[in-house]
Amino acid sequence: MTAIRAAYPNYYRNQAEIDDAINLWAEMLADDKAEYIAKAVKDFIKNDSTGFPPTIGQIRSRAKDIRIAELEREKRERDLLPEPDVKGIPMPDELREKFNAMLERMKVEVRNEKKHRGHF
C-alpha cells in the first residue's frame, strides 16, 4: 500500500482513508502469495499510463499473469535441460543442481496449489 500511495499521491489523502484501504486490501489479498502481489503492484505502477491507482482485481489478475509467465519460463528451461543419466552418461553437476532446484520449486508449487485451490 505504501508503494501505491507514493505513486499516486492524490489518492488516500487522510489517515482514515489509508487505514480503510490497507484493511480492505489485506483482507482481499490474504490468500494470495505476497511475492506475486508485490511484483504485480510494481509492474502496474511501472506501466501505468492512466494516473489512477489499481484496483484489487487488477493487481490479482496481474499477479496471476506473472505467476503463469514464471511457470512457463521454468517449463521452457526444464525442457532445455538434458535428461539425467542418458545412456549411462551422468549429467554435469552444475546442470544437475539447476535441474534438482527447479524440480523442488515445482514440487512446492504443486503442494501450494493443492493447499490453496482457487487462489494463485
Q: What is the pLDDT of residue 14?
A: 86
Residue 50 lies in a domain: yes
Q: What is the pLDDT of residues 47-60, one digit of tens each?
A: 999 999 999 999 99
In the chain, how many domains are there?
1
At 40, list the grid cell.
504485480
Low-confidence ranges of the chain (pLDDT < 50): none
pLDDT of residue 115: 66
Q: Would residue 21 count as lying in a domain?
A: yes
Q: How far is CA 78 from CA 74, 96, 98, 100, 115, in A?
A: 6, 11, 9, 10, 24
111 lies in some domain: yes
The predicted model scores a pTM of 0.64
**Residue 86 placed within a domain:** yes
- Domain holding 13, by residue range, is 2-115
In a domain, 120, yes or no: no
Contact 81, 98 (CB under 8 A): yes
Residue 63 to residue 33: CA distance in whole angstroms: 9
pLDDT, residue 87, reads: 64
